[in-house]
Amino acid sequence: MHIAHPPRRLPWRPALLAMLTAAAFGMLAPAAHAGECPADMRVADGQGQKPGPSMPKDVTDVVRYSTDLSKEPLALAGRLFRLRQLEMKPGGIVPWHSHNERPAMIYIVSGEVVEYASNCAAPILHRAGDVAPERNGTSHWWKNTGSSTAVLISVDLFPTGMQMDPHEM
């Protein structure tokens, strides 16, 4: 004799269903990336934060490696693929500069810094683990408003004919 039992309800099933539903709706929402200007704060270049300091303060910049891309299979003449490490002491400043000729990405290794960008209506807080894209149409300056030294890694496509300013990110 076989006795049929009603299906056993697993207590975690409603929670799993709720998480899957939330994830599905999250994929439909516009993506917001940590380290970027929020979509509702993006403005035309020049309409955001105003130019800031013109001199660096308490920043060290070390080029860790660069590759001349004209000698690679890509054969991109006039560009270095460059990786740099920057350390910003508390209160440190990377002065106002443009990325119209030099796309870059900044990875915040530790600490936190604030970016004041020409195409964002509000300052952008960058924390450890964030990546900040720097594209054509971006002019900005950075300040370490935290209480510890911020360490950043910058990767850019540096024009070989451009004078190198060791404090630009």
Whole-angstrom Cα distance, residue 95 to residue 150? 16
Whole-angstrom Cα distance, residue 140 to residue 116? 5
Q: Quick one: which H or E segment has residue 14? A: helix 13-28
pLDDT tens digit at each of 169 positions of the chain? 445 545 555 444 444 444 444 444 443 333 345 678 899 999 998 899 999 999 999 999 999 999 999 999 988 999 999 999 999 999 999 999 999 889 999 999 999 999 999 999 999 999 999 999 998 888 999 999 999 999 999 999 999 877 655 545 5
Backbone angles phi, psi at 153, to 5 degrees: -115, 125
Q: Which pLDDT score, from 0 to 100, does residue 18 have? A: 45
Whole-angstrom Cα distance, residue 67 to residue 159? 12
Q: Which CATH class is domain 41-159?
A: mainly beta
Write down the domain spans for the chain.
41-159
